[in-house]
Amino acid sequence: MSVLLTNIGELVTNDPEHGGSRQATGAAARAVGSGGAGLGIVPGAAVVVEAGRVAWTGPAASAPAADVAVDLGGRCVIPGFVDSHSHTVFAGDRSAEFAARMTGEPYTGGGIATTVAATRAAGEDTLRARGQALVREMLAQGTTTVEIKSGYGQDVATEARTLRIARELTPETTYLGAHTVPAEYADDRPGYLRLVTGPMLAACAPHARWIDVFCEPAAPTAFDEDESRAVLLAGIRAGLGARVHGNQLSAGPGVRLAVEVGAASVDHCTHLTDADIDALAGSWSAGPGSHGSGGPQGSGTVATLLPAVEFSTRSPYPDARRLLAAGVPVALATDCNPGSGYSSSMPFVVALAVREMRMSPAEALWSATAGGAAALRRDDVGHLGVGARADLTVLDAPSHTYLAYRPGVPLVSEVWKDGARAG
């Protein structure tokens, strides 16, 4: 059955057919800064959905017939948000840690051990219920694609269990056994590295699409450059794509290591050197086989920014303008987790990106949709071109600008996922 969604006041497509480019290149990343040129906006629009996919977009006056018509009352429609970085399967609570930070205690990443202990002790039903609740919460706020990491088990059984549950919720699952070194291996880092790249990887790889590592020399329980490289290369050999937590707490090797191994995304990017910016920009201009994964031209490393973390930790925000000026594609994601940023709201992230990182409303929306899709190397989400998944978010507002213009207001009136109204 085909469905005509009509009387759309403003349709954001991220589709080149409508005057913008959804391709995650430096040119497209720059284009979204000029009045929304990269968003492929259609005023007075309609969308035809069939078999879970977008079958047609354009002016409502030219829309073809469909089996069912739905009047959206002049509201704005955008692609569903693509949240490409989250940690939503866990147990426990770290609100006391948050309260301490708000009175001046710095964030060091050490609180991860608290969540590890709670997650190891939790039953499977408890972990599943928490993950399901957070994904429902995300969907209600317009997120239709989400990535979920492990990393709160740090033993073979709990990491594998976390990923099995995550796989029930999304195909975008990431093995993050190398989140931190657990207490029992504090005096045997090589032993934990052997576990992460050996038995734990073997147990987790069947349930994961990606491998990730917290490459942060400034954090004593995280991983240095050589350790991080060993983790990523082991995952790549096991058939997983690479992602990196990099440059969150200090300038370090994370960004350049991500580019070296051909990672799809390097996330946080709070402290960047000129060499880091050059490496990210170069990953998009280099030809096939120019970096570790031999990725094709046009599939470089996205810089994924997580401003809800800076909000929650009172840390400096990443310099998005510097990345965009260099032609580096930027994604925005929540990093929803119990310690450094417990928000599931992509609209909140968009508002933070506009206010605190000086992104335009158009840049922020592109990064939260098409940018997130690029960070997951997906071409079927993050845009509303013909053939894309029919994942749409309907705003109770006339324009996408309202996401930042009215921060904190629940503007998402309905969400369509795979061509059906969700919820």
Which residue ranges form the domains of the chain, and what is each CATH number?
2-80+383-421 (2.30.40.10), 82-344 (3.20.20.140)
Binding residues for Zn(2+): 85, 87, 245, 335
Dihedral, CA of residue 81, residue 47, residue 409 and residue 144, to nearest 10? -30
- CB-side exposure of 11: number of CA atoms within 13 Å? 29
Q: What percentage of residues in the chain have a pLDDT greater than 90?
A: 88
Distance CA(49)–CA(419), nearest Å, equals 6
Q: Measured at the alpha carbon of residue 356, what is the angle toward residues 369 and 150, in degrees to the nearest 5?
A: 50
Per the prediction, the chain carries an average pLDDT of: 92
Binding residues: 85, 87, 94, 152, 179, 245, 248, 335, 337, 339-340
pLDDT, one tens digit per residue, over 129-159 is 999 999 999 999 999 999 999 999 999 999 9
List the beta bridge partners of residue 42.
Answer: 11
CA quadruple 17, 296, 277, 85: dihedral sign: positive
CA-closest candidate to residue 175, choices 156, 192, 191: 156
Q: Is the pLDDT of residue 350 over 80?
A: yes
Q: Is the pLDDT of residue 25 over 60?
A: no
Q: Is the pLDDT of residue 69 over 90?
A: yes
pLDDT, one tens digit per residue, over 165-175 is 999 999 999 99
Compare 213 and 288 and report the one with higher pLDDT: 213
- Token pair of 102 as six digits: 């708000």
Q: What DSSP line would sit under 260-291, residue for residue?
A: HHT-SEEEE--S--HHHHHHHHHHHHS-TTSS
CA-closest candidate to residue 216, choices 109, 106, 313: 109
- Token pair of 151 as six digits: 């990393």
Q: What percentage of residues in the chain have a pLDDT greater than 70?
A: 92
Q: Is the pLDDT of residue 295 over 80?
A: no
287, with CB counted inside 10 A (0-12, 13-18, 19+), is: exposed
Structure letter (DSSP) for residue 248? S
- 279 pLDDT band, cuts 50/70/90, is very high
- Token pair of 361 as six digits: 């409303």
pTM above 0.85, yes or no: yes
What's the pLDDT at 285? 84
Residue 129 phi/psi, 5° resolution? -60, -40
Compare 294 and 281 and report the one with higher pLDDT: 281
Q: Which of 97-111, 201-215, 306-320 has the lowest mean pLDDT?
A: 97-111
Give Dmax (Cα) for the chain: 69
Binding residues for Fe(3+): 85, 87, 245, 335
- 286 pLDDT band, cuts 50/70/90, is low
Distance CA(219)–CA(230), nearest Å, equals 18
Binding residues for 4-imidazolone-5-propanoate: 94, 152, 179, 248, 340
Q: Which residues contact 224 (CB under 8 A, 6 or more apart)?
A: 215, 217, 253
